[in-house]
């Protein structure tokens, strides 16, 4: 593993911050400390559990920790967990390509459901659009690594990201935030919470607005590009009609409007951050979410009945300069419309000191239509798209049997069924779809009109041994399933348009521990995953095989291979003396194909050259190191210094391994002064201190001529003002 020279800078900064006379840490860690006991809902039991007691690999951050680390989006959280990349797709703003332990969706095709499930307030997000956006007033985020096929269902073969927004408080409280950073980026947010009718009705209102002036200067358009405006409003009402009954309603409406993705043509622009796009593109996202959560205490097993109903409506439109150059070669536009309904009804209870039981029923219904358009050199235009109407249900149960006070056995099972009806019009110059109206003609020999159902049985078994109050070991075996489906971005007649389920078997073992009077925490785990029918997205260029992809770069979805992915990971936090806290995590992932089912490099044959390809988005190494030093100033308040450095090794974005993703290297630092009482704080920060150019997606549009190389912002300086009461 190559250690970047920026590590030396970080260690030096941490050493300077911690200089002084060592004093042993006293008492429990503060709520902002990474050593504080975080409770999680990952096992869906009657009561939340301490993360250190949960027998799965999980990284959890509370709202206070998220604020202290200046985490503003889910993407920023990815580096704080090993073998995790919560990255955007790169081609469309707000589109996620979350990857955990080498499993993720490497496509912008709307009809591919994510292998890393995102659950917001208990509601599964059916598509990966509208996700990598801003967060504010979040109570907690939990990242569950590995398949969660029992309690969270299908499409969580890689893991699950569980987000819970903050709930109303019984006392009047408020929080206000104002932030300004480089290139006219201004953010203002506020939340007010408190009683409406005594303790019977509580309310909270959260509002957020951010203006991004555009970090990148476009030499062709002679203006800054990549900017946008994002706002959301989220009212929350909690009703407590009687003791043991709690009803919560959450509504959120979010919008983002602005430019499209910024990309660099590496053949025309050899210098980093050199932008000459002739088309700034556009982004228009509207998302409305409604959640109803009901909790009723029952006498049976001193348990609780929970019902979570969710509705989501998403409209997402985007345009981008696919060739990234000063002249028209390939401009792309996409338009999605999606709505979903889901309902989960479950019971959780405990029977003596012997059994904990969770069981329930899950229903899901979703409709999606997606249209794409390509404006090509010479005036040619292609349009196509399709719709998916799906429904499904699942029944699940998991039981923990406490064999002894130290030994617990777990057994769980979930049965899932789903059906998808697809209508797809192949992208072509005949233009069977209209981007603006999202209306398609699903007729003719090129159209696909089909319906198919899938079912799955996913068990989980495990053992947990609490060796001491501070040391726990666990091992588990589980199965997971990722949905089959249809390709709505079908551009080639050779593409069958349908793909089957991706199935996997996973073994995991680990140890969670605390040492030195809980001033140090060490969590390590190892995993082995066997995958059958891995769903991949083949972006193949027609200069390689023009007979099978006649319209340029073609996105083909298929069950490409069987594979093994395995590795280890560790998380470490230590407070060597009062005021100083050091943290680190490291992950190692190895992936190999065991059987190749498709011609991955499109040379016309399936052979060892295909089998020896690297699995897309599998980074062999990832790590993060950081430190926080807090200096009390007596009656003058306190000042905190924080720095961290994240690294993720190179990976390939495509099956043929023609498109590399450069190593991710990012160093951040900040200083925060908090006035006495803790109500007012001021922070100054810098992100991407070394001003590295990171790329989140690349595609050769015309090899040797045009390259779609999506880049992220460079160095950003900023300041934040926070006030709360």
- The answer to whether 483 and 153 have CB atoms below 8 angstroms apart is no
Based on the number of CB atoms within 10 Å of its own CB, is 22 exposed (0-12), middle (13-18) or buried (19 or more)?
exposed
Average pLDDT over residues 131-152: 87
Q: Is 17 a residue whose pLDDT tops 50?
A: no
Taking the C-alpha atoms of residue 536 and residue 709, their distance in angstroms, rounded to an integer, is 20
User: Pairing between strand 116-120 and 159-165?
Assistant: parallel
Q: Which of 112-116, 403-407, 649-653, 658-662 has the lowest mean pLDDT?
A: 658-662
For residue 399, the model assigns a pLDDT of: 97
What percent of the chain stands above pLDDT 70?
A: 92
Q: Is 368 a residue whose pLDDT tops 60?
A: yes
Taking the C-alpha atoms of residue 532 and residue 496, their distance in angstroms, rounded to an integer, is 19
Q: Is 550 a residue whose pLDDT tops 70?
A: no
Strand, helix or coil for residue 9: helix
Identify the band that residue 7 occupies on the pLDDT scale cut at 50, 70 and 90: very low
Q: Which of 79-93, 205-219, 320-334, 412-426 has the lowest mean pLDDT?
A: 79-93
Average pLDDT over residues 482-494: 87
Identify the band that residue 653 occupies on the pLDDT scale cut at 50, 70 and 90: confident
Query: Exposure pattern of 671-706 as b/e (b: 16+ CB <10 Å)?
Result: bbbbeeeeebbebebbbbbeebbbbbbbbbbbeeeb
Q: What's the whole-model pTM score?
A: 0.92
Average pLDDT over residues 352-366: 95
For residue 540, list its beta bridge partners.
554
- The answer to whether 356 and 384 have CB atoms below 8 angstroms apart is no
> How far is Cα of residue 116 from the mean position of the Cα atoms in its chain?
7
pLDDT by residue (tens digit) across 504-544?
999 999 999 999 988 999 999 999 999 999 998 765 544 44
Please enumerate in sequence order all residues whose Cβ is within 8 A of that of 12, keeping only pairs 6 or more positions apart, or say none: none
User: Pairing between strand 471-482 and 502-515?
Assistant: antiparallel
Q: Which residue reads 């200046």 in tokens?
A: 70
Taking the C-alpha atoms of residue 191 and residue 205, their distance in angstroms, rounded to an integer, is 5
Q: Is 144 a residue whose pLDDT tops 80?
A: yes
Q: Is the dihedral of CA 64, 70, 74, 79 positive or negative?
A: negative
Taking the C-alpha atoms of residue 357 and residue 134, their distance in angstroms, rounded to an integer, is 36
Higher-confidence residue: 702 or 306?
Answer: 306
Average pLDDT over residues 451-472: 96
Identify the band that residue 30 occupies on the pLDDT scale cut at 50, 70 and 90: low
- Hey, what are 684's tokens? 């100054």
Taking the C-alpha atoms of residue 276 and residue 281, their distance in angstroms, rounded to an integer, is 13
Structural domains of the chain in order of their starting residue, each with its CATH number: 6-724 (2.40.170.20)
- The answer to whether 402 and 408 have CB atoms below 8 angstroms apart is yes
Among the listed residues 707, 700, 714, 701, the one whose alpha carbon sits nearest the alpha carbon of residue 265: 707
- The answer to whether 540 and 551 have CB atoms below 8 angstroms apart is no
For residue 474, the model assigns a pLDDT of: 98
For residue 18, the model assigns a pLDDT of: 37
Give all strands (DSSP E) within 578-637, no chain letters: 580-596, 621-632
Average pLDDT over residues 128-147: 85
For residue 508, list its beta bridge partners.
476, 527
Q: Concatenate the DSSP letters of all residues of 468-536 into one string.
A: ETTEEEEEEEEEEEE--EE-SS---TT---EE--EEEEEEEEEEEEEETTTTEEEEEEEEEEEEEEEEE
Mean pLDDT of the chain: 89
pLDDT by residue (tens digit) across 615-635?
988 999 999 999 999 999 999
Identify the band that residue 135 occupies on the pLDDT scale cut at 50, 70 and 90: confident
Based on the number of CB atoms within 10 Å of its own CB, is 379 exposed (0-12), middle (13-18) or buried (19 or more)?
exposed
Among the listed residues 160, 8, 3, the one whose alpha carbon sits nearest the alpha carbon of residue 643: 8
Identify the band that residue 2 occupies on the pLDDT scale cut at 50, 70 and 90: very low
Q: Is 385 a residue whose pLDDT tops 50?
A: yes
Q: Which residue reads 């943290």 in tokens?
A: 583
pLDDT by residue (tens digit) across 199-214?
999 999 999 999 999 9
Q: Which of 63-77, 179-193, 329-343 has the lowest mean pLDDT?
A: 63-77
For residue 697, the model assigns a pLDDT of: 67
- The answer to whether 671 and 640 have CB atoms below 8 angstroms apart is yes
pLDDT by residue (tens digit) across 145-201?
999 989 987 778 999 999 999 999 999 999 999 999 999 999 999 999 999 999 999
Q: Is 324 a residue whose pLDDT tops 60?
A: yes
For residue 450, the model assigns a pLDDT of: 95
User: Pairing between strand 245-258 and 471-482?
Assistant: unpaired
For residue 703, the model assigns a pLDDT of: 60
- 578 secondary structure, DSSP code: T
Taking the C-alpha atoms of residue 711 and residue 554, their distance in angstroms, rounded to an integer, is 22
Taking the C-alpha atoms of residue 11 and residue 625, their distance in angstroms, rounded to an integer, is 9
Average pLDDT over residues 403-423: 96
First to last CA, the chain: 46
For residue 601, the model assigns a pLDDT of: 80
């Amino acid at each position: 593993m190559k250690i970047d020279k920026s590590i030396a800078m970080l260690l030096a900064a941490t050493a300077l911050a911690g200089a002084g006379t060592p004093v042993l840490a006293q008492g429990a860690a503060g709520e902002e400390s990474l050593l504080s006991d975080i409770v999680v809902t990952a096992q869906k039991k009657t009561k939340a559990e301490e993360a250190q007691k949960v027998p799965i690999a999980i990284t959890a951050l509370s709202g206070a920790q998220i604020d202290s680390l200046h985490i503003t989006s889910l993407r920023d959280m990815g580096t704080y967990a090993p073998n995790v990349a919560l990255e955007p797709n790169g081609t469309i703003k707000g589109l996620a390509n979350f990857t955990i332990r080498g499993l993720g969706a490497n496509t912008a095709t709307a009809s591919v459901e994510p292998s890393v499930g995102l659950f917001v307030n208990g509601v599964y997000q059916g598509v990966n659009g509208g996700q990598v956006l801003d967060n504010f007033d979040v109570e907690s985020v939990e990242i569950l690594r590995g398949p969660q096929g029992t309690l969270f269902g299908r499409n969580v073969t890689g893991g699950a990201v569980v987000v819970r927004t903050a709930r109303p408080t019984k006392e009047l409280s408020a929080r206000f935030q104002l932030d300004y950073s480089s290139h006219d980026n201004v953010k203002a947010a506020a939340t007010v919470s408190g009683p409406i009718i005594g303790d019977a009705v509580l309310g909270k209102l959260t509002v957020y607005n951010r203006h991004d002036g555009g970090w990148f200067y476009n030499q062709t358009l002679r203006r800054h590009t990549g900017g946008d405006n994002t706002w959301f409003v989220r009212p929350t009402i909690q009703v407590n009609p009687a003791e043991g009954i709690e009803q919560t309603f959450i509504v959120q409406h979010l919008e983002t409007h602005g430019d499209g993705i910024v990309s660099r043509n590496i053949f025309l622009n050899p210098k980093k951050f050199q932008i000459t796009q002739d088309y700034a593109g556009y982004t228009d996202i509207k998302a409305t979410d409604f959640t109803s959560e009901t909790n009723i205490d029952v006498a049976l097993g001193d348990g609780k009945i929970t019902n979570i109903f969710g509705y989501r409506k998403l409209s997402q439109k985007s345009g981008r300069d696919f060739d990234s150059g000063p002249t028209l070669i390939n401009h792309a536009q996409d338009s999605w419309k999606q709505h979903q309904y889901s309902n989960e009804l479950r019971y959780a209870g405990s029977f003596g000191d012997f059994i904990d039981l969770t069981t329930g029923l899950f229903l899901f219904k979703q409709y999606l239509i997606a249209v794409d358009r390509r404006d090509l050199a010479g005036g040619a235009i292609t349009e196509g798209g399709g719709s998916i109407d799906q429904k499904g249900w699942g029944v699940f149960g998991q039981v923990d049997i406490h064999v002894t006070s130290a030994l617990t056995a777990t057994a769980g099972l979930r049965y899932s069924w789903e059906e998808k009806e697809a209508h797809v019009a192949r992208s072509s110059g005949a233009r069977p779809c209209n981007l603006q109206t999202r209306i398609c003609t699903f007729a003719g020999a090129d159209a696909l009109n089909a319906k198919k159902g899938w079912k799955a049985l996913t068990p989980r078994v495990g053992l947990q041994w609490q060796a001491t109050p501070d040391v726990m070991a666990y091992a588990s075996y589980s199965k997971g399933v990722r949905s089959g489906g249809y390709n709505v971005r079908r551009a080639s007649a050779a593409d069958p348009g349908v793909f089957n389920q991706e199935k996997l078997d996973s073994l995991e073992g680990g140890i969670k521990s605390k040492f030195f009077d809980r001033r140090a925490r060490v969590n390590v785990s190892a995993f082995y995953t066997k995958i059958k029918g891995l769903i991949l997205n083949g972006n193949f260029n027609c200069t390689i095989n023009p007979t099978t992809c006649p319209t340029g770069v073609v996105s083909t979805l298929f069950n490409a291979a069987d594979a093994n992915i395995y590795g280890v990971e560790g998380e470490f936090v230590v407070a060597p003396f009062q005021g100083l806290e050091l943290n680190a995590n490291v992950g190692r992932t190895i992936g190999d194909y065991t059987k190749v089912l498709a011609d991955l490099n499109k040379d016309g044959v399936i052979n060892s050259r295909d089998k020896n390809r690297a699995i897309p988005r599998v980074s062999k190494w990832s790590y993060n190191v950081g430190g926080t030093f807090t200096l009390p100033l007596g009656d003058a308040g306190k000042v905190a210094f924080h720095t961290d450095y994240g690294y993720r090794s190179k990976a390939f974005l495509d099956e043929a391994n023609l498109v590399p993703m450069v190593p991710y290297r990012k160093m951040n630092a900040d200083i925060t002064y908090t006035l006495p009482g803790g109500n007012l704080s001021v922070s100054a920060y810098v992100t991407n201190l070394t001003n590295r150019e990171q790329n989140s997606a690349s595609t050769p549009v015309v090899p040797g001529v045009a390259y779609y190389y999506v880049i992220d912002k460079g160095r950003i300086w900023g300041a934040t003002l926070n006030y709360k009461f």
